[in-house]
Amino acid sequence: MIFIQELFQPKFFIDDNFEQPINLEQISKQAYLSRFHFHRIFKTIYKKTPHEYLTQKRLDKAKSLLEKEGISITDVCSCVGFESLGSFSLLFKKQIGLAPQYYRNIAYLKKQLAQQQPKSFIPHCYVETYKISED
């Protein structure tokens, strides 16, 4: 019988080690299951394969790193566990819809705009409800 905690352990393993080169064999060992059986169960529970989950975790972290200044795209790539800048850039663009540099530029512009016009980032309903002045 499979215990619930054993099914969460692989997800926690991915969450804690996503920046490392991990594979399905290593992940499935966390649940004490064969790769094939584990893959099927993981997909049923999380609605994505372990590889899709790992990739999403890496891309989410990459987005947050790209929003920061002072870290190169190459460093972002290696920090989140990708071995090739080219494959990282292609996958990022495919999944996010923007190339990493373009994503970074837009994040920078949003940050600048938020500093110049902070009230434009407050939802109108909030402004109306709490009577925030438009100064």
Domain CATH code at residue 112: 1.10.10.60
- Closest Cα to residue 50, out of 11, 96, 12? 11
What band does 120 get if pLDDT is binned at 50, 70 and 90? confident
- End-to-end C-alpha distance for the chain, whole angstroms: 63
- In this prediction the pTM is 0.81
> Would you say residue 129 lies in a domain?
no
Calpha distance 62→78 (Å, rounded): 10
Question: Which of 4-8, 87-91, 114-118, 121-125 ranks highest by mean pLDDT?
Answer: 87-91
Overall domain count for the chain: 1
Counting Cβ atoms within 10 Å, is residue 31 exposed (0-12), middle (13-18) or buried (19+)? buried
Cα 97 from Cα 89, distance rounded (Å): 11
Domain of residue 23 covers 4-116
Look at residue 76 and tell me if it is in a domain. Answer: yes
Give per-residue pLDDT as tens, 55-103.
Answer: 999 999 999 999 998 899 999 999 999 999 999 999 999 999 999 999 9
Between CA 60 and CA 53 the distance in angstroms is: 11
What's the whole-number mean pLDDT along residues 6-17? 88
**Looking at the predicted structure, is the pLDDT value of residue 48 above 70?**
yes
